A and B are shown apart, each in its own frame.
Chain A
Amino acid sequence: GQQVMQIPQYQHVQEGEDFTTYCNSSTTLSNIQWYKQRPGGHPVFLIQLVKSGEVKKQKRLTFQFGEAKKNSSLHITATQTTDVGTYFCAPSNQAGTALIFGKGTTLSVSS
């Protein structure tokens, strides 16, 4: 399966600061999904990136897929306390295949 490394593993920010988590693979990825898991909750789908160099935005969240399709990033502008949780990137080969999750990046935000 395709393994990815996420950095940092933990990040603490003050509310209003920006936050970025990076997802890196040694192999070319077909596509990558991002999930968010709130403390005590379950993973919730955020987005899927498929195309080389793709950039997608969801309000304050910006997702990028690298040109070589070996890395991806999630950037949150002006964090809020509601952004607290663990963000996972997970590659998949095709529809209907299981996801491979790393340890994720756990974000904490203080007000």
Chain B
Amino acid sequence: EAGVAQSPRYKIIEKRQSVAFWCNPISGHATLYWYQQILGQGPKLLIQFQNNGVVDDSQLPKDRFSAERLKGVDSTLKIQPAKLEDSAVYLCASSNLREDTQYFGPGTRLTVL
């Protein structure tokens, strides 16, 4: 079974630029999560989808962050414009509806200069 795929793995941008990350969850997983992990901290939820609907986006900075999962499969997370404090690893995870286990992708490491 293929795992969660994310791209790109690394991205370096300057502040005020925009950036987009892509995630393809494990086949059949209805729930998809985006987490932000700042160095030295645990992952923090940004947004949770179930199929193509948003379940929880309470911690998403909506003035600059957006995410979509139009067909209920893969998802994109966008930051526009980026700030220095957005430097972090962006992790995508997925799970099925029957269990709690979340499977994480390798993450995208974003550096904002």
Chain A positions near chain B (C-beta within 8 angstroms): 31, 33, 41-45, 48, 88, 90, 92, 94-104
| Nearest residue, chain B, Cβ from A32 | B100
Interface residues of B (CB under 8 A from A): 30-31, 33, 40-45, 48, 50, 55-56, 91, 93, 95, 97-107
Q: Which of B56, B104, B106 contacts A98 (CB 8 A)?
A: B56
A97 CA to B93 CA in the complex, in Å?
12
State the Cβ distance, A49 to closest chain B Cβ, in Å.
Answer: 11
Asked whether A101 and B43 contact (CB < 8 A) given A42-B107, A45-B101, the answer is yes
Question: 6 nearest interchain CB pairs?
Answer: A101-B42, A42-B104, A98-B45, A45-B101, A95-B100, A101-B43
Nearest CB on A from B79, distance (A): 20
With beta carbons under 8 angstroms apart, the residue of A33, A42, A88, A100 that contacts B100 is A33
A sample of 12 inter-chain contacts (CB < 8 A) reads A31-B100, A42-B104, A42-B107, A45-B102, A88-B42, A96-B30, A96-B50, A96-B95, A96-B97, A96-B100, A101-B43, A103-B41
How long is the Cα–Cα vector from A42 to B98 in the complex, in angstroms?
Answer: 23
The A-B contact count (CB < 8 A) is 55
Alpha-carbon separation in the docked complex, A74 to B67 (Å): 35
Q: Which residue of chain A has the shortest Cβ distance to B34 in the bound complex? A: A98
Complex-state Cα separation, A102 to B102, whole angstroms: 16
| Contact partners of B102 in chain A: CB under 8 A | 33, 43, 45, 99
| A93 to B99 Cα, complex, angstroms | 12
B100-A48 in contact (CB<8A) = yes
Kindly list chain B residues whose C-beta atoms are within 8 Å of the C-beta of A94. 100
